[in-house]
């Protein structure tokens, strides 16, 4: 994500150097995993990295309905999981990074994104999402105990 923002690339086009974009996106995913699965200082570092990513996203969505402008674009699809799944990642992972008062434009984007009919009809129920993330958390706990 950082690559797209720092390079000034349009979110409605494919990134010309996908490997750099992929690395930035993977850093955000890794931070979310640390915040979700870890405890103590490691968890705090993960949450801090997630907050940095959310701050970058907020800066890019100001004044726009979607990252691609008035229409959904490439970046909206790539990071769209934040719009629905992230609230459950925070709940099951017992941390808080997304704050609608700190990120009002990102919050509005989340609402816009999940209200799209094509997105709404594709979303699993909250119970299903929570069960999946509880399963991940439980499996990690079991693996750590062995």
pLDDT at 127: 97
Mean pLDDT of 104-132: 94
Look at residues 1, 18, 92 and name the one whose alpha carbon lies nearest to residue 52: 1
DSSP label at residue 11: T
Of 2, 55, 47, the C-alpha closest to 25 is: 2
Instruction: Give the tens place of pLDDT for each residue, 30-83.
Output: 999 999 999 999 999 999 999 998 998 888 889 999 988 899 888 888 888 888
Q: Residue 66: what pLDDT?
A: 92
pLDDT score of 12: 42
Q: Which pLDDT does position 31 carry in this prediction?
A: 94
Residue 38 pLDDT:
95
Task: Name the residue range of residue 83's domain.
Answer: 2-145
Closest of 145, 131, 140, 144 to residue 36, by C-alpha: 140
Q: What is the CATH number of the domain that holds 45?
A: 1.20.1050.10
Average pLDDT over residues 21-27: 75
Give the residue carrying structure tokens 């990071």: 79
pLDDT on residue 115: 93
The yes-or-no verdict on residue 15 having pLDDT over 50 is: no
Q: What is the pTM of this model?
A: 0.79
Number of independent structural domains in the chain: 1
- Nearest CA-CA partner of 28 in 81, 84, 95: 81
């Amino acid at each position: 994500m950082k690559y797209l923002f720092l390079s000034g690339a349009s979110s409605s086009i494919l990134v010309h150097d996908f490997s750099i974009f992929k690395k930035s996106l993977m850093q955000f995913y890794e931070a979310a995993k640390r915040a979700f699965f870890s405890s103590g200082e490691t968890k705090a570092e993960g949450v801090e990295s997630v907050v940095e990513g959310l701050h970058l996203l907020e800066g890019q969505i100001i004044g726009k309905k979607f990252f691609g402008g008035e229409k959904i674009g490439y970046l909206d699809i790539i990071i769209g999981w934040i719009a629905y799944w992230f609230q459950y990642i925070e709940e099951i992972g017992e941390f808080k990074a997304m704050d609608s008062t700190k990120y009002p434009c990102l919050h509005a984007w989340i609402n816009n994104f999940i209200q799209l009919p094509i997105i709404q009809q594709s979303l699993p129920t909250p119970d299903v999402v929570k069960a999946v993330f509880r399963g991940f958390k439980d499996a990690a706990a079991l693996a750590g105990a062995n």
